[in-house]
Chains A and B, each alone.
Chain A
Amino acid sequence: MISIKNVTKKFPSVTALNDVSLEIKDKEFFGLLGPNGAGKSTLMNLMIGYIGADAGDIYIDEEKISQHNLAVRKQIGFVPQSIALYDDATAFENLEIFGSLFGIRKNLLRAVIAENLNRVQLYERRKDKVKNFSGGMKRRLNIAASLLHNPKVLLCDEPTVGVDPQSRNAIFDYLVKLNEEGKTIIYTTHYMEEAERLCSRIAIIDSGKIISSGTLDELLQLLPYEQTILINKNKTTESKLELFKSFGKLLNEQEKYELKPFDHLKLSDFFKAMEEHGIDYNSIDLHKPTLEALFLHLTGRRLRD
């Protein structure tokens, strides 16, 4: 278990973390969702003891993490936000360098490297220089380099930035698998889709403060309404405004109508009525509550500006 207790971190021009407290349980896939500059990386840097906090403490299984506690770092694998690899060295050489720092014996290290390269589908490319890798390959190697010492906890700081959808899915699958195998994963992102898809629990961070945390369902329940039905504006729909109003509260927004349905509404009834009145399904969109909406609701701003 990782306990973050009342952590504050100030930089000369900004308070990056302001009295942050979180608990992350073993084997959890924990998401830290927040916009640029929210303090996600700063929190990660504190969790590996790269920097020290101005106030508060972080513990992993009762052991305090600090800049001076080097031993505790063996329990943690860290995937930096940037691609932290030597460009001019090969994939294999990179892993040799970083693995050796954990004191893994040479023979064992070779086997471990081969296994980890295999798991991210880079074994065939082990003798290629990193600078010749695609963005997605670099990202996968960036993760593999953090797993050589088989850590209990894996911290991933936006591990999919700048990656095509296919590679991104491969990375997701791999992380989910690692989690299933028993690793605790802490994952930062500013993509709400990623947090929704991967994380069993999520904390939303903004301007150095945790503004909300819980499971996805718990978080979404914080939204004052559950559903919105979006209706395109066209000749047919414009002539049926009374019909829509019979199902809920209709708001005339700029591009679309937004229908906030009454509590008892059954979607089947609604769609049946639409069919009867000749309204095309394509003009209608069900808008589910999202973390994005929650963030907007809590902060008045969007996650990604």
Chain B
Amino acid sequence: MKTIFHLIKKDYKLFWLDKPAVSLTFLVPVVLIYIFGSIFGRPDTAPTGIRIGFVNNSNNKIAKKLESVLDTTKTFKLVKNYTDDKGNVIKFDTNSIKDYVIKGNISAALVLPEDAFTDTSTSFKIKFYYDPKNQMEMQIIEGLLQQTVMMQMPGIFMASMQHKAKEYLGEQKGIMFNKKIASLVSQYYGVDTSKILNWTNFNFDEDTSDADTSKKTANVFKDILQLDKEQLVGKEVNNPNATRSVGGWAMMFLLFALTGASTSLFDENKSGVILRILSSPVSRTDILWSKYLYNISLGVIQLLVLFFMGYLLFNIDIFSNFFNLMLMIIAAASACTAFGMLIAAVSKTSAQANGLGTFIILVMSAIGGAWFPTFILPPFIQALSKGTLVYWSVEGFLDVLWRGANTIEILPYVGVLLGMSAVINIFSIIRFKKGNIF
């Protein structure tokens, strides 16, 4: 028993001396738990400011009302204009907003058609264009949108009933019916008759803020609201779920592989192999270049294999936009290589490099969108996301595979990734020159 105690004590001691292991055991999970917790755990962090396109072609009061309600909610930020090449701000119409969605500038758009609700309408028409490249985001947008619209249902319902009554009873009888009901109501409740008659001016907000009410009304009024959904992008994608996630997972493993490959420098140095290599006609720059090119090519091969497996297992279409996929693969591999070299450059030992690497890779994957879409993150973390190479890679791959983006469309991603690589590489080279790694 005593022996076992001493052996256990020894293991704790060694564990404590191995700082990378300690940080992987405690620090990494704490940070990840924080990130996940801030997404799913805190009720006050429901998404806000989700950008959706909005076009209102109707002059109807209810439509106007809906627009102003959507304008004021925190949940959505309506995008109604765009800036053209010449810098002019132009109001969207139905076609241009669809185009905007197709190009991937926005994931959903709401169009209230001219006949959204006319004097004779018995239901309210809404056109919903969307790009489900990000399924979770789309579900949340739809849900929130329906909730917001449903809150306006009592008003629509009343107007709709009025129209129905007119339709069945005829114009005159309808008016009579309304007046009778109105006087009846005013008699009993002491409300001004004219107010009751003017249904469309009814203040919808007054008693509909109760979530329960809107939920109940949701079923009742299903056929009164005609939400006409149209998927604009990704309809022809074979396996949407796999297509969405393949890039993210591939990126994470690419990062692990390339960080591992870079930290092999430490092992080679420790064994004296680097010393031996440098005693032959080889310079340090040659070694760095060879490592760099080796890592990039390894990364490209790894990504190709992973995407090809995606094709074999999930029928993900990688061939119809292969050239652009290749561009993204090269950009992503070069950025990940730069990352791996940076980790090696700032570390002193291979254990340190692996600990630091694992930590940053997991955090970057979490906030960069490799595991789940970034829009569900709190805004300040979303801002951080855009600083990660994972974000630009995942978005780029999604654009290529999901929307079949062309070369010009993926240039921003490729550009950012190559730019990141360049900056990181310059920094690493300076570190390598200063440091005593080899």
Chain A residues in the interface with B (C-beta under 8 A): 45, 48-50, 67-68, 70-71, 73-74, 76-78, 80-87, 98, 101-103, 145-146, 149
Contact = CB atoms under 8 A, between A and B. Distances in A.
- Interface centre among A48, A84, A85, by most chain B C-beta atoms within 10 angstroms, is A84
Given A78-B275, A80-B276, A103-B281, 17 more contacts: A45-B275, A48-B278, A50-B278, A50-B279, A68-B283, A70-B283, A74-B281, A80-B275, A81-B272, A82-B275, A84-B272, A84-B276, A85-B271, A85-B273, A86-B273, A98-B280, A102-B281
B301 interface: no
B17 interface: no
B272 A78 contact: no
Given A82-B271, A83-B272, A48 B283 contact: no
A35 B294 CA distance: 41
Contacts of A98: 276-277, 280
Interface in B271-298: 271-273, 275-283
Contacts of B275: 45, 50, 78, 80, 82, 84
16 contacts: A45-B275, A48-B278, A48-B279, A49-B278, A50-B278, A67-B283, A68-B283, A80-B272, A84-B275, A84-B276, A85-B271, A86-B273, A98-B277, A102-B280, A102-B281, A146-B279
Nearest to A70: B281
Contacts of A76: 279
Contacts of B273: 84-86
A30 to B, nearest CB: 18
Nearest to B268: A86
Contacts of B278: 48-50
A85 B283 CA distance: 19
Contacts of B281: 70-71, 73-74, 101-103
Contacts of B272: 80-84
Contacts of A50: 275, 278-279
B397 to A, nearest CB: 34
Max count, chain A CB within 10 A of own CB: residue among B271, B273, B276, B278: B276
Contacts, number: 56
Nearest to A50: B278
A145 B272 CA distance: 13
Contacts of A48: 278-279
Nearest to B270: A82
A91 to B, nearest CB: 15
Nearest to A102: B280
A103 B276 CA distance: 15
Contacts of A74: 281
A78 B283 contact: no
Nearest to B275: A80
Contact of A70 (B271, B276, B282): B282
Which one of B271, B277, B278, B283 has the highest number of Cβ atoms from chain A below 10 Å of its Cβ? B278
A199 B5 CA distance: 54
A101 B271 contact: no
Contacts of A45: 275
A155 to B, nearest CB: 8
Contacts of B282: 70, 101
A146 B278 CA distance: 12
Contacts of A87: 271
Contacts of A83: 271-272
Contacts of B271: 82-87
